[in-house]
Amino acid sequence: MASDLEELIFIKAASHSAANREPSVTYMLPLMIVTQKITTLAFQLHDGICKKSEQLTSEQKHVAIRVRPSLIEYLSYNLNFLSVLVGPCSNYRDYVDFIEGKHISCRLKQHPGTCNGQNGYDKTPDLSPLNAVCRKLLVCCGCMFLFLVITRSLPITYNADNHFVGHASFFTRLTYAFFSIQAARPKFYFAWTLADAVNNAAGYGFLGMDESGKPSWDLVSNLNIIGIETATSFKTFIDNWNIQTGIWLKTVCYDRAPKHRLPLTFILSALWHGVYPGYYFTFLTAIPITIAARAIRRSIRHYFIGSKVLKLGYDIVTWAATQLAICYTVMPFLLLSVDHTIVYYRSMYFHVHIISILAAVALHRKHKPREASAANNSAPPVSLSSSSSTAACPAQCQPVHSNNNDKVN
């Protein structure tokens, strides 16, 4: 009898512990990265072997692969230790150049004004990644400190706690949700910045020379922290968050889908992340929010750009709206379960869903002609924005993708 009672108590304690433990998804990361690499390589091979040159965009031409890699090359690209755990995914041609020792010289040759047709070593004083690696490791230390001090003191699951939801006011719940989402970011900042630093330390990730003539080691950077924290639009935030995944989604889905590119891209992103219901809540919610954000921006932004004071006020309001919308959208991604997500949405009265759907429907007809004319030229919400200097520089001078995300059309 005593042994049965002890066994029952042990089972209850174990089940209670499992129920309150936050689920871990770290084991999925290598599979997610390999999925990106396999599909990236597959589409680049398809573009190089099965399509004619005139059927490809300029970016697709640049990364197209015309010769099938050997088994060793294929396995090396997919399973190399630099990116097998948390990424980032990069183009096959860039990786092969790195393995063959041509990475830096090939990137420099894309800037004829800098290297004057030579390999660039005699003209450039110092291309060492040491400064970039040290700077990124310092950022990692700061993110780890914030994670240990702040993140653990603001648990995400408290947003769906029945006692908290039942007794706290709406403003209190909204404030806690905002700060708990802010506190959850350092762990992502740490992982992606460390992965970037590891690649740079190995000599991979050289983007080229920046406008001031200094070497930039941001080819495989996965985030822009300043761009994230100061984003004044939903698109700007996404453009600076998980950058390499945004590029992957753009190249394998958004640029290739014949229609409904926005929802298909978000659905693919949800499928790629895994099977937790929270992922689907997040990315399906992002569809109407993105459409509404585009429509609202087109409708009112031009009234505020004529005055510095009005523009400052507009930026402050849009920053707050963007951060709250991101908070509302991302919460299910971190809560993961259906029950916690529904509790959170009910505590927020589904207000972002309602506002975004109403705005998207009300402003859709007003801007329908403009959207139709710009459909082929607009950038996806999950891709990199082009920098303002791109148009002024010849195509051969530009890197394949830019990490300057300070301008959104």
Say how many CA atoms lie within 13 Å of 407 toward its Cβ: 9
**Do 288 and 76 form a contact (C-beta atoms < 8 A)?**
no
**Do 219 and 245 form a contact (C-beta atoms < 8 A)?**
no
Structure tokens at 258: 């014949």
| Residue 209 backbone dihedrals phi, psi, to 5 degrees | -95, 135
10 Å CB burial of residue 15 (0-12, 13-18, 19+) is: exposed
**Do 235 and 293 form a contact (C-beta atoms < 8 A)?**
yes
> How many other C-beta atoms can be found within 10 angstroms of the C-beta atom of residue 241?
23
167 is known as an active-site residue: no
Residue 83: CB partners within 8 Å, gap ≥ 6?
Answer: 33, 89, 90, 195, 199, 220
- Write down the catalytic residue from 242, 403, 404, 405: 242
Determine which helix (DSSP H) or strand (DSSP E) holds 216, and give its type and residue range: strand 215-216
Cα radius of gyration (the chain): 23
3-state secondary structure 288-353: HHHHHHHHHHHHHHHHCCCCHHHHHHHHHHHHHHHHHHHHHHHHHHHHCCHHHHHHHHHHCCCHHH
- Write down the catalytic residue from 111, 273, 340, 401: 273
The secondary structure of 117-182 as a DSSP string is: TS-STTT-S---SHHHHHHHHHHHHHHHHHHHHTGGGS-GGGGG-HHHHHHS-HHHHHHHHHHHHH
401 is known as an active-site residue: no
**Residue 56: closest CA among 189, 216, 255, 211:** 255
**Residue 139: closest CA among 208, 72, 91, 186:** 186
- C-alpha 230/C-alpha 318 separation (Å) is 10
Pairing state of beta strands 208-209 and 215-216?
A: antiparallel
The amino acid at residue 92 is Y
Q: Looking at the annotation, which residues are catalytic? A: 242, 273
